[in-house]
């Protein structure tokens, strides 16, 4: 929606709300996304009347005082100071909008040597808020039937064998236990952070993370990725080496020491081990998961 029609709609809203239409092509289909600025402080009215969806039907807000009360309570919890002025902004945009050198000068602080240091300080002052929506959290009821560290190699186990067999016959699942293997393989193909499988007394969780360079991963994430890589290599009938780890993390051959440090950390964590501990050579050393 552009031009006069968009302008007319904007003028019919009170308070005026910014909204945008995003259009693109995907696999031969026209896609349209409507982005609407959230209401702050008061509900938005169209031609002087506030509306609300009740049971899938559009109703006047005044006709539902209970819903109106809930809405006002939700809006009253929002404060201007905690509002997001530019959601989704990246680092370069933030530094272009904020006069960060003047802030450090007035605060009597030395200007950090790199952008990461500047953004970290601005986040500490709550001038900016690091984006939180960087992983998917998938939670299923019930603890896992096998150790989360053995998700890649262990044969499958079903809580309900009859249901699993029926789903396999309908081609909904394969019932071979290779689902996690395929997930890890795809994650390694695109050099994404390793998923984190967690178990609680009542649930099983899988955390899938957004793209991140190996240099941006913390030690725990690199060790987890190294261990899962060793498991995947073993399932594929090949040992893990410095070369395979470099490929997993996108590390160039000239930076082999980076891969070596990741492997050493995984060994110290007790998750991978040398196939031949007596060998003095580390250049061509081969590794396997700890449980072999």
- Per-residue pLDDT of 162-176, as tens digits, reads 888 888 888 887 777
Same-domain status, 120 and 140:
no
64 within some domain: yes
Does residue 129 lie in a domain region? Answer: no
* Whole-number Cα distances in Å, 192 to 130, 163, 208, 211, 241: 20, 33, 9, 5, 19
My answer on whether 53 and 171 are in the same domain is no
Angle between helices 256-268 and 242-249 (to 10 degrees): 100
Contact 279, 268 (CB under 8 A): no
Q: Which of 44, 41, 2 is nearest to 21 (CA)?
A: 2
Co-location of 105 and 160 in the same domain: no
Return the higher-pLDDT residue of 16 and 109. Answer: 109
Whether 130 is covered by a domain: the verdict is no
Residue 140's contacts (CB-CB under 8 Å, 6 or more residues apart) are 203, 204, 205
Structural domains in the chain (count): 3
Q: Out of 74, 100, 124, pick the residue that ends a domain.
A: 124
Residue 96 lies inside a defined structural domain of this protein: yes
> How far, in Å, CA of 120 to CA of 109, rounded?
13
As a whole number of angstroms, the distance between CA 263 and CA 261 comes to 5
pLDDT at residue 271, as a whole number: 97
Does residue 168 lie within any of the structural domains? yes
How much is the pLDDT for 76? 64
Kindly report the pTM of this predicted structure: 0.58
Task: Confirm whether 251 is domain-assigned.
Answer: yes
Find the mean pLDDT for residues 185-205. Answer: 91
Q: What is the residue range of 118's domain? A: 91-124
252 and 143 within one domain: yes
Residues 142 and 280 in one domain: yes
pLDDT-derived band of residue 66, with 50, 70 and 90 as boundaries? confident
Q: Give the end-to-end CA distance of the chain in Å, rounded to a whole number.
A: 62
Q: How confident is the model at residue 4 (pLDDT cuts 50, 70, 90)?
A: low
Are residue 284 and residue 157 in the same domain, yes or no? Answer: yes
Query: pLDDT-derived band of residue 236, with 50, 70 and 90 as boundaries?
Result: very high
């Amino acid at each position: 929606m552009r031009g006069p029609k968009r302008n007319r709609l904007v003028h019919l809203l009170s308070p005026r709300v910014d909204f945008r239409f995003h259009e693109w092509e995907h696999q031969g289909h026209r896609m349209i996304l409507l982005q609407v600025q959230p209401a702050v402080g008061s509900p938005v009215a169209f031609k002087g009347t506030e509306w609300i969806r009740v049971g899938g039907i559009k109703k006047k807000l005044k006709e539902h005082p209970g819903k109106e009360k809930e809405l006002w309570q939700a809006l009253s919890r929002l404060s201007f100071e905690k509002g997001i002025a530019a959601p989704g902004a990246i680092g370069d945009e933030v530094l272009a909008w904020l006069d960060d050198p003047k802030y450090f000068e007035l605060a009597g602080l030395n200007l950090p040597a790199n952008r990461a240091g500047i953004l970290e300080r601005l986040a500490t002052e709550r001038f900016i808020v690091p984006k939180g929506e960087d992983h998917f959290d998938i939670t299923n009821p019930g603890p896992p039937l096998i150790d989360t560290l053995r998700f890649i190699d262990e044969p499958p186990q079903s809580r309900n064998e009859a249901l699993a067999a029926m789903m396999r016959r309908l081609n909904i699942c394969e019932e071979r236990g290779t689902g996690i293997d395929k997930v890890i393989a795809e994650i390694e193909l695109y050099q994404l952070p390793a998923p984190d499988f967690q178990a609680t007394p009542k649930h099983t969780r899988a955390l899938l993370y957004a793209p991140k360079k190996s240099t941006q991963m913390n030690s725990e994430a690199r060790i987890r990725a190294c261990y899962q890589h060793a498991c995947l290599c073993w399932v594929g009938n090949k040992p893990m080496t410095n070369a395979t780890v470099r490929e997993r993390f996108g590390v160039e051959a000239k930076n082999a020491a980076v891969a070596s440090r990741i492997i050493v950390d995984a060994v110290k964590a007790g998750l991978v081990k040398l196939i031949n501990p007596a060998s003095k050579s580390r250049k061509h050393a081969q590794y396997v998961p700890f449980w072999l």
